[in-house]
A and B are shown apart, each in its own frame.
Chain A
Amino acid sequence: MQGVVQQIVSGLATGGVYASLALALVLIYRSMEALNFAQGEMAMFSTFIAWELITVVHLNYYLAFAITIAVSIAGGFLIERIVIRPVEKAPPLTVVLVTLGLFFVINGVAGLIWSYVIKPFPGPPGFPQAPIEFGGVSVGLQDLFLIGMTVVLLVILYAFFQYTKLGLAMRAAALYPDTSRLLGVRTSRMLALGWGLAAGVGAVSGMLIAPIEFLDPNMMQPILLYAFAAAVLGGIENPVGAVVGGFVVGVLLALIGTYVPGARDLRLAFGLVIIVAVLMVRPGGLFGRAHVARV
């Protein structure tokens, strides 16, 4: 019994990482109805930047964390301006292909700069290694940190979109771009901001998973798959759904990995199964509309 709870907590922790990346995917999907296949690579690149700040420049972990997020937001903004804007009005699949191209480029550049040698990445300092006890079950503090960060992220984003003028404008621009322009909203800039925010969120997810999965240019590819599964499961347009989906996927994968013999390496395939199954049965996901007339 203790083992199961432990696995669940651990699954929630990695699920939080999937949820964060899924949040980024949802952000972009809501802005422009396209899937950003480069989201994981962008997150990976951000994590490498954090690595440089921490191990080469010797900055404090939390300072590096904050700087990386800021740099990532700016980077996402720029990427949208330079690479996505020319195809803003093109069919969604063209945008997908552009993001695939971006995938290649970012992965290649990261490999060029930092090589494919696996590097360790530090977790947040100041957390005692000893797990804490909850009614006979020992839970790692790092896991709680992961879960906590995910929830904090969701709350911050929710507050931003619900209660700030800019957040409102971004929502309006995503849903009703033509009318928003008539109200003076620069919709193109809102889109770039959306990409910036998504990049920032992705950076968080990368920095959270790197201590566990180690840092190398290919590290986010499985995470991206699970994030897609989470977003699809929760409903690709729904941020809360993405987070719930992430936790569910994380827990399922942890349980299957531990208790189904030989399934550990099949987890990626399991992600595929989730995606296909959900899209076939209820394309809107758990929190979306039941039958969506989607492209």
Chain B
Amino acid sequence: MALLELTDVQAAYGSVKALHGVSLSVEEGSIVALLGANGAGKTTTLRAISGTVRKVGGNVLYDDQVINLRSPEDVARMGIAHVPEGRGTLAQLTVWENLKMGAYVRRDGAGVKRDFDRVVSYFPWIGQRRDQVAVTLSGGEQQMLAIARALMLRPRMMLLDEPSLGLAPLVVRDIYRIIETINREEKTTILLVEQNARTALSAAHHAYVIEVGRIAVEGAATELASQESIRRSYLGY
């Protein structure tokens, strides 16, 4: 069952149109990768889902509800955690405060406590550096913090914007391992956007390639990865 479905979504920044009709669907419990070059519209697609950018056409269907007009706050409260471009770390706040903000909308104190513990089990260093100011963390740690914070929402779906950006390959590998673990154990649906196609395809079940605001190619991740012509034309390797 498709948890998220975009139908011919068009979005604009002011008068500049960035998406010209994006259609994709994400099955519940799967990891879907959205790939493409810089400026193709990957980030804008995520923003269109979370309500951060103005949509001028098309439909965004989440859990069978049309969420076109919802504000970002409301979309978050529906269980979609968007880790934005640049990670959106609350830089001057501490690690712990970042996590607490992740749990802001939740009312179940016991559940939040359990999730804190779970997050620390994924990222042990968080337990030891709770009071460290977030801006002093390394890039990789900030990415992990961003994912941890998103987990505190207890999201049904996570939107990850370029989780590998600017990180060393070993760190990227760790992060993706955690993404896969979250998907497997928490059953969280994940839509991730990447320029680094190879890594994304190794983790994803399904993939789309976006070009100039439109979907160019889609298919099972293994298929896209195995077809050399597609890799050469669209994915750059």
Contacts and interface: CB of A to CB of B under 8 A. Distances in A.
Are any A and B Cβ atoms less than 8 Å apart in their complex? Answer: yes
Contacts of A180: 90, 101
Given A165-B100, A168-B100, A168-B101, A182 B52 contact: yes
A181 B72 CA distance: 6
A183 B101 contact: yes
Contacts, number: 59
Interface string A159-190: 00000010011011001101111111111000
Interface size class of A (residues with CB under 8 A): 10 to 19
Given A171-B93, A181-B72, A185-B101, 11 more contacts: A168-B97, A168-B100, A178-B52, A179-B84, A181-B71, A182-B50, A183-B76, A183-B149, A183-B153, A184-B73, A184-B105
Nearest to B79: A184
Contacts of B105: 183-184
A205 to B, nearest CB: 28
Interface of A is mostly: helix
Interface of A: 165, 168-169, 171-172, 175-176, 178-187
B88 interface: yes
A187 B72 CA distance: 10
B122 interface: no
Contacts of B88: 176, 178-179, 182
B73 A165 contact: no
A184 B104 contact: yes
Contacts of B52: 178, 181-182
B82 A172 contact: no
Contacts of A169: 101, 104
Contacts of B102: 183
A176 B84 CA distance: 12
